[in-house]
Amino acid sequence: MNNAEISEKLTEILELRYAPVAVKIIKKGEKIPDGFDEPDSNIRHCQSIMRAKNGESFVIPADKHACVVGASSLGLVPTPPKVKTGDFHANIGMFECADAAANMVSQRSELEEGSTIATVVGPLKDFEIEPDVVILVDVPETLYWLVPAATFFEGGRQAFSTAAFQATCVDSTIIPLLTGKMNMSLGCFGCRRATDIKNDEMVAGIPYKNLEKMIEALEKIHEGPMQKARLK
């Protein structure tokens, strides 16, 4: 399947609210693909995801990333000292003290500093290159069906890693990229403050290489269990 077909199948089977979003991390030394424009002004990674689900596409070099917390986890810029010490997040009021916030930052998954030069984000259906990760934004019932799809052939359980911050950059982009496994997030303070994500929506990141197998499972599940559970 090509990207347009994968996007169409995901949208039809899951009855998605928005277009599946493709994310490609451009590593140092790699060429930035043609056909993508930089945003008019600086933009956060979470904002690019939410705008892409509505049809926009971007190439976002390091100097166009508005959020240094997200950009540093993506390997684009150094992690600011106040983020490392926890002062930045503690000042927001989400932790009792800076040490607690620093503990969160120290445990986040991240790409090596200086290893990347840009992110490319847009609707999967429009991507002519192979993305690293595909991100879905929707309600829990919709994204739930990714769990039986992920366990359909081999069984087992799904374990998701998340935190109070970095739902799209760490939870939905970096963790699936590094682990090769789907990850889900309830959203975070940053994306809920800075984007149009709805109160009833959450986020899932899926390694691109896993999608065709998951669609095969979803097609089987769709005709039986999914229809029965959704018949209300």
Q: Structural domain of residue 88, as residue ranges?
A: 3-230
Largest CA distance in the chain: 53
Give the up-direction half-sphere exposure of residue 102: CA atoms within 13 A in the CB hemisphere: 10
Q: pLDDT (tens digit, 9 = 90+) per residue, 39-78?
A: 999 999 999 999 999 999 999 999 999 999 999 999 999 9
Cα 208 from chain centroid? 11
Tell me the percentage of the chain whose pLDDT exceeds 70: 100
When divided into structural domains, the chain yields a total of: 1
Q: Tell me whether strands 116-123 and 183-185 are parallel, antiparallel or unpaired.
A: unpaired
For residue 205, the model assigns a pLDDT of 98
Q: pLDDT (tens digit, 9 = 90+) per residue, 159-173?
A: 999 999 999 999 999
Length of the chain, in residues: 232
Question: Bridge partners of 134?
Answer: 22, 206
Structure-token pair, residue 55: 């049809």
Q: pLDDT (tens digit, 9 = 90+) per residue, 191-211?
A: 999 999 999 999 999 999 999
3-state secondary structure at position 125: helix
137-141: average pLDDT: 98
Q: How far is 232 from 102, CA to CA, in rounded Å? A: 46
3-state secondary structure at position 201: coil
Alpha helices, DSSP H, located in 16-152: 45-52, 68-73, 81-84, 87-90, 98-107, 140-144, 146-151
Q: pLDDT (tens digit, 9 = 90+) per residue, 211-228?
A: 999 999 999 999 889 999
Name which of 44, 43, 54 is nearest 21 in CA terms.
54
Please, which pLDDT band fits residue 232 given cuts at 50, 70 and 90?
low
Q: pLDDT (tens digit, 9 = 90+) per residue, 92-121?
A: 999 999 999 999 999 999 999 999 999 999
What burial class does residue 37 get, using C-beta atoms within 10 Å of its C-beta: 0-12 exposed, 13-18 middle, 19+ buried?
exposed
